[in-house]
Amino acid sequence: EVHLVQSGGGLVQPGGSLRLSCAASGFAFSSYAMHWVRQAPGMGLEYVSAISNSGGSAYYANSVKGRFTISRDNSKNTLYLQMGSLRAEDMAVYYCARVEWGGYADWGQGTLVTVSS
């Protein structure tokens, strides 16, 4: 069974940094692209960032480009999202997701990022 267990959320001041982690199990982690998706309070779902299975290619939504960095450690079966220069509009629940057949086959439990002074 696929498990994606997230950690690292919390309260951060505007302009601050935070790193999210997503520990994967139950599948061949190094074979799959992984994404981060977020959901602002009471709102819909928004793609944030993507990384290829090898980690050699990374992509970002325009709203986070230059501020967020996605990475993965295939030896540890773990996905990361380093978030910097955080803004109020980055406040959301962040989900990691495994990509299969052109969509998100599995999701993490979500982690809340609160940006407030």
Q: How many residues bind other proteins (CB under 8 A)?
A: 20
**Cα 14 to Cα 99: distance, rounded to the nearest angstrom:** 31
Q: Which one-letter DSSP state was computed for residue 53?
A: S
- Find the shortest distance in angstroms from Cβ 62 to other proteins: 9
d(C-alpha 16, C-alpha 77), whole Å: 27
Position among 30, 46, 69, 77 found at the interface with other proteins (CB under 8 A): 46
- Do the Cβ atoms of 22 and 6 come closer than 8 Å? yes
Taking CB under 8 A as the binding criterion, the range among 7-15, 24-32, 69-77, 95-103 that sits at the site for other proteins is 95-103
Residue 35 interacts with other proteins (CB under 8 A)? yes
Residue 59 in contact with other proteins, rule: CB under 8 A: yes
